């Protein structure tokens, strides 16, 4: 079983996923409204709306689109969690995601992680960044 986050954006999906590709690497795919087969012409103002974005890295995929309803109310009630390889990776990713956004918990050592922090990036996506557990921590 796999769970893959699918995020809605208020018109800045392309910008967000381009930034996520810079931070995480992987293979980025962006499909615009104009790319979809249709017998009707796409209105000019809708042509560049992202109808599907995916960032594939190893066996993980982060997906999203611009909100097709036009009623985008922001992201709430969720976080995207990133499990870092080590504290250096956690710091690099956390700092990149927090740039231009809002830090809600500084990246710091906790009883369950060598580095854990939370932020909302400049695109409105809430993130948790977590490094491996501290040496000698009891497995649960």
Q: Are residues 16 and 63 in the same domain?
A: yes
Give, in order, the Cα–Cα distances in Å from 113 to each of 23, 84, 92, 96, 108. Answer: 21, 10, 16, 19, 8
Question: Is 140 a domain residue?
Answer: no
Of 41, 68, 95, the domain-final residue? 68
**Residue 83 to residue 36: CA distance in whole angstroms:** 34
Predicted confidence at residue 136, as pLDDT, reads 63
Predicted confidence at residue 138, as pLDDT, reads 56
The answer to whether residues 138 and 112 touch, using CB atoms and an 8 Å cutoff, is no
Q: Are residues 56 and 85 in the same domain?
A: no
**Residue 95 to residue 49: CA distance in whole angstroms:** 28
Q: Are residues 102 and 49 in the same domain?
A: no
Q: What is the domain extent for residue 81?
A: 77-135
Q: What is the pLDDT of residues 15-38, one digit of tens each?
A: 999 999 999 999 999 999 998 888
Q: What is the pLDDT of residues 88-101, one digit of tens each?
A: 999 999 999 999 99
Residue 102 β-bridge partners? 120
Question: Is 56 a domain residue?
Answer: yes
Q: Are residues 49 and 84 in the same domain?
A: no
Predicted confidence at residue 78, as pLDDT, reads 92
- The stretch 87-114 carries a mean pLDDT of 97
Predicted confidence at residue 131, as pLDDT, reads 96
Predicted confidence at residue 137, as pLDDT, reads 60
């Amino acid at each position: 079983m796999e769970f893959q986050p699918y995020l809605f954006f208020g018109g800045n999906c392309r910008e967000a996923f381009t930034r996520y590709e810079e931070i995480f690497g992987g293979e980025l795919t962006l499909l615009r409204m104009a790319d979809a087969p249709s017998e009707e012409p796409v209105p000019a103002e809708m042509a560049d709306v992202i109808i599907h974005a995916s960032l594939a890295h190893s066996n993980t995929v982060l997906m999203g689109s611009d909100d097709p309803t036009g009623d985008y109310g922001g992201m709430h009630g969720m976080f995207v969690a990133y499990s870092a390889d080590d504290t250096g990776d956690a710091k690099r990713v956390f700092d990149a995601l927090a740039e231009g956004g809002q830090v809600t918990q500084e990246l710091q050592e906790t009883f369950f992680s060598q580095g854990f922090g939370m932020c909302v990036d400049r695109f409105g996506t809430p993130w948790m960044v977590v490094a491996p557990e501290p040496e000698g921590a009891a497995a649960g």
